[in-house]
């Protein structure tokens, strides 16, 4: 088993069961909307979550900054977009038992919840929350606070994951999501997010001193020095992290060049722009 901590394993398994239970009838009713690729993406996203929280990687993260950065990359750049590509709202709602489904649907339809959802899903909030969480938890004082403490480590990872979900939602725009922002606005949205990721990655890669004191005295495998480990961590943040931003950027740019024509399976926004397909 990849993950033995019930705090992570239980919700991941519950999400998988709900999704599969709801996905099965939706795939029969709307095969073009809910193809096998959605199921694969969602399950892959859950698998990435389990891998990020696996005991072995978690143990390595206490002695290797590069392992810690790999966890952050999975939680912020990989798992959230994969989960949104699965268009999880409808399958998970349909996967609930009927009485609970009605109760949840009634709650989601209430004016207060709808107003809150509009605030939480606004792209500006998602971008700011993502960037604030990203830089705050990489401040040495907070980083060193989370490293030895299981509780604060979980809080750190929850912050990364939840803010990343908010960030990636308007980029993927999973069905039946809508946004008031035009699709071209996602290009600078991603470009500026990539700039701040590159800035921190460059600091870690080229710094001539150890930024996080906790790793100065850590016992590292493979004979790495703390500074070498830090440089590798920066490269991990820089290269795979940049790819995570550049791939959707490329897709959005190609979509914009292709014009406003909506292809089968795309989602139209409130302004009639074709959304990034998450199929």
**Which residue shows structure tokens 């699965």?**
86
Q: Is the per-residue pLDDT at 219 higher than 70?
A: yes
If you average pLDDT over residues 38-64, what whole number do you get? Answer: 92
What distances in angstroms separate CA 181 from CA 177, 188, 251, 252, 261, one per listed residue? 12, 12, 17, 14, 18
More confident residue, 162 or 101: 162
What distances in angstroms separate CA 20 from CA 24, 39, 51, 180, 226, one per listed residue? 6, 8, 20, 31, 44
> Backbone phi, then psi, for 128, in 5-degree steps?
-65, -40
Percent of the chain with pLDDT over 70: 90
Buried b (16+ CB within 10 A) or exposed e, 91-101: bbebbbeeeee
- pLDDT classification of 24: cutoffs 50, 70, 90: very high
Residue 38, both tokens = 């959605």
Cα–Cα distance for residue pair 167/190, rounded to 1 Å: 10
Per-residue pLDDT of 175-201, as tens digits, reads 888 888 888 899 999 999 999 999 999
Per-residue pLDDT of 224-266, as tens digits, reads 888 999 999 999 999 999 999 999 999 888 877 665 544 444 4
Q: Delimit the domains of the chain by residue range.
A: 6-258
- pLDDT classification of 221: cutoffs 50, 70, 90: confident
Q: Is the per-residue pLDDT at 86 higher than 50?
A: yes
């Amino acid at each position: 088993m990849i993950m033995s901590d019930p705090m992570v394993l239980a919700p991941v398994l519950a999400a998988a069961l709900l999704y599969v239970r709801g996905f099965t009838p939706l795939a029969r009713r709307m095969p073009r909307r809910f193809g096998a690729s959605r199921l694969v993406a969602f399950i892959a996203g859950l698998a990435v979550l389990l891998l990020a929280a696996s005991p072995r990687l978690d143990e390595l993260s206490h002695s290797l900054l590069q392992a810690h950065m790999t966890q952050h990359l999975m939680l912020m750049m990989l798992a959230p977009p994969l989960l949104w590509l699965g268009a999880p709202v409808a399958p998970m709602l349909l996967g609930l038992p009927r009485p609970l489904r009605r109760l949840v649907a009634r709650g989601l339809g209430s004016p207060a919840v709808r107003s809150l959802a509009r605030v939480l899903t606004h792209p500006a909030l998602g971008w700011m929350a993502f960037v604030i969480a990203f830089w705050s938890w990489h401040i040495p004082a907070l980083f060193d606070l989370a490293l030895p403490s299981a509780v604060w480590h979980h809080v750190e990872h929850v912050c990364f994951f939840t803010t990343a979900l908010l960030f990636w939602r308007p980029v993927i725009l999973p069905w039946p999501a809508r946004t008031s922002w035009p699709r071209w606005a996602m290009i600078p949205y991603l470009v500026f997010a990539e700039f701040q990721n590159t800035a921190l990655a460059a600091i870690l890669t080229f710094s001539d001193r150890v930024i996080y004191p906790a790793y100065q005295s850590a016992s590292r495998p493979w004979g790495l020095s703390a500074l070498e480990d830090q440089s590798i961590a920066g490269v991990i943040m820089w290269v795979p992290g940049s790819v995570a931003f550049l791939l959707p950027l490329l897709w959005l740019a190609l979509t914009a060049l292709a014009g406003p024509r909506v292809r089968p399976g795309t989602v139209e926004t409130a302004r009639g722009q074709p959304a990034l397909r998450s199929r």
